[in-house]
Every structure is written in C-alpha cells, then in structure tokens.
Amino acid sequence: MKKAKIIISLVVIVFFISAAANAQKIKVTQGDLSFFKGVTELNLAYDFSEMGVGKFKTEEAYIEKKKADMNEDEAGSGDTWETAWHEDKEKTYEPKFEELINLVFLSKEVNIQVGEFTNADYTLILKTTFLEPGYNIGISRKDATINVEVAIVETDDQANVVVLITMDKVPGRGAFGGDFDVEYRIGEAYAKAGKELATYIWKKSLK
C-alpha cells in the first residue's frame, strides 16, 4: 500500500513537470553507464560554483546587478533577495532533484538510493553550469532552464570520473502557467533533471 501511494505521488508530480517542453538534451561525454548494475547507494553532492545566470557569465555578476537594482528601488530589499537566492538552492532545488531521481528509480523497481551516503563507493556531483530564471508576468512568460553536468566519481578519489553526463536546456515551469515565483520555476527544472536523469540511466543500463 505504501509503495502504491508513492507511485501515485510520482505520477502526479510527473504530470505537472511534464507540462514543460521536452527540449532537454542528455549525452554521455565520458565513460559509460554499465557500472550502475552493481550500485545500491549513490552519494549526492551539488556544485553551483561556476554557473552563468541569464545574460550574465557569472552568478556573482547577476547577483550584483539584481541586488543593486532592488536596493535602489527599496533599501535593503536586494540584500534580502540575495539571502533567499542562496537559501533556495538547499531548501528547494537540491531536494527537488533528489526526490525525483529516487521516485523514478522506485517506480522502475531499481534498487538504487541516491542521497547522503558518504560511505558509498560512488558520488554523483550535480554541477549547474547555466541557469535561466525565466519569468511570468501573466501576459508574457519564459520558462526557467538549467544546464548541468552530472559527474559520477569514486567517493574516495573524486578525481577519478567514472562517467560524465551533460544535460542541456532542462525546462522548469508550473502546470497551467501558475509559476509566478522564480523559486518554483527553477525548482521544477531541478525536478525535471532528476526525473529525466533517472529515466535515462534506467533505459540505457538497467532496463
């Protein structure tokens, strides 16, 4: 019964995030996926250290401009926004990715758990290389999108990359256009990334 409820929840979540255009591209650029057949736990880490945001080449440049503009309109509002911008990564984006990758594996009856497993042989590092926040002002909108690199490395020797996967133009939007909040839009992109990555791994190496 519990498993059935989880699968039903997955179907509901997948319905909403599948409303986004299926334009993302997934590609293995190094190694192969065969090692997954012996994996039961996968440690998970995130890297936001080198990403462009929108028209800005670096996150730092984006934050500087956005914060200055907001503080000019209302003193202190830009500083509040910057704090929330960073907190959203750990509060929303990372949990969305982890939830969906695990739900898809569960729905496919794949015996792999992804999360904080520091003693696992392998670690999945999700590195965001580009983030488009998008917007929704009612009469006009633009999806959030992310580009990510998925590096699966040996936990004890992270210079040893077992497989490297790129995912480009992963979209994020709410069902029926109800995604006025940027945190929600971007969160859906990370959910989509988790869903599509798990599906890809299952199809290519575990099906």
Better-scored residue on pLDDT, 174 or 94? 94
- State which amino acid sits at residue 204: K
Q: Which residue has the tokens 């290519």?
A: 204
Fold entry, domain 2-206: Rossmann fold (3.40.50)
- Alpha-carbon distance of 196 to 47, in angstroms, equals 19
Model confidence, pTM? 0.87
Are the beta carbons of 162 and 21 closer than 8 angstroms? no
pLDDT band for position 136 (50/70/90)? Answer: confident
Are the beta carbons of 43 and 124 closer than 8 angstroms? yes
pLDDT tens-digit profile of 10-49? 544 444 444 444 556 999 999 999 999 989 999 999 999 9
- Alpha-carbon distance of 105 to 191, in angstroms, equals 14
- Alpha-carbon distance of 35 to 199, in angstroms, equals 16
pLDDT tens-digit profile of 87-131? 999 999 999 999 999 999 999 999 999 999 999 999 999 999 999
Helix (H) or strand (E) holding 138: none
DSSP characters for 95-127? HHHHHHHHHHHHHTT---EEE--TTSSEEEEEE
